[in-house]
Homo-oligomer: A and B are copies of this chain.
Amino acid sequence: MNIQKFSEITNLSPHTIRYYEKIGLLRNIARNASGHRWFTEKELAWVEFIKRLKDTGMPLDDILKYADLREEGDSTSEQRMQMLQAHAMKLEEKIAEEQFHLQKLKEKIEHYSKLVELEVNA
């Protein structure tokens, strides 16, 4: 598929896709006869994985390191696993923290709702 189609499916702008290629997140993208990028399922799966890492707070630099290891082949699978494990642990902590924040927010909202009730009945 061309960059437009790929952009629609991945929900990344063509700009962002080229940017990801420029910084090395996307590599060895095929080109058609007129020099336009040609994407396949392979890129789709990889980009979805990049998005997962990014959306859970991993910086692009770290994702880049993962991409480097990935390119080196199977000998780096243990390293990659360790990266993911460390990241998963951080994510678990982050979720726990957010759940705590959420509870505090709900308490504040409860406080407001009582306040507003008082105003209405005044």
Decide if A56 touches B98 in the complex (CB within 8 Å): yes
Decide if B78 touches A105 in the complex (CB within 8 Å): no
Tell me, in angstroms, the Cα distance from A112 to B105 when the chains sit together: 38
Decide if B116 touches A77 in the complex (CB within 8 Å): yes
Decide if B92 touches A112 in the complex (CB within 8 Å): no
What's the number of copies of this chain in the assembled complex? 2
**A50-88 residues at the B interface, CB under 8 angstroms:** 52, 55-56, 74, 77-78, 80-81, 84-85, 87-88
Decide if A109 touches B94 in the complex (CB within 8 Å): no
Decide if B91 touches A109 in the complex (CB within 8 Å): no
Chain A interface mostly helix, strand, loop or mixed?
Answer: helix
A-B contact pairs, 29 of them (CB 8 A): A49-B108, A52-B101, A52-B104, A52-B105, A55-B98, A55-B101, A56-B98, A74-B115, A74-B119, A77-B115, A77-B116, A77-B119, A78-B112, A78-B116, A78-B119, A80-B112, A81-B109, A81-B112, A81-B113, A81-B115, A81-B116, A84-B108, A85-B109, A88-B106, A88-B109, A92-B102, A94-B98, A95-B95, A95-B99
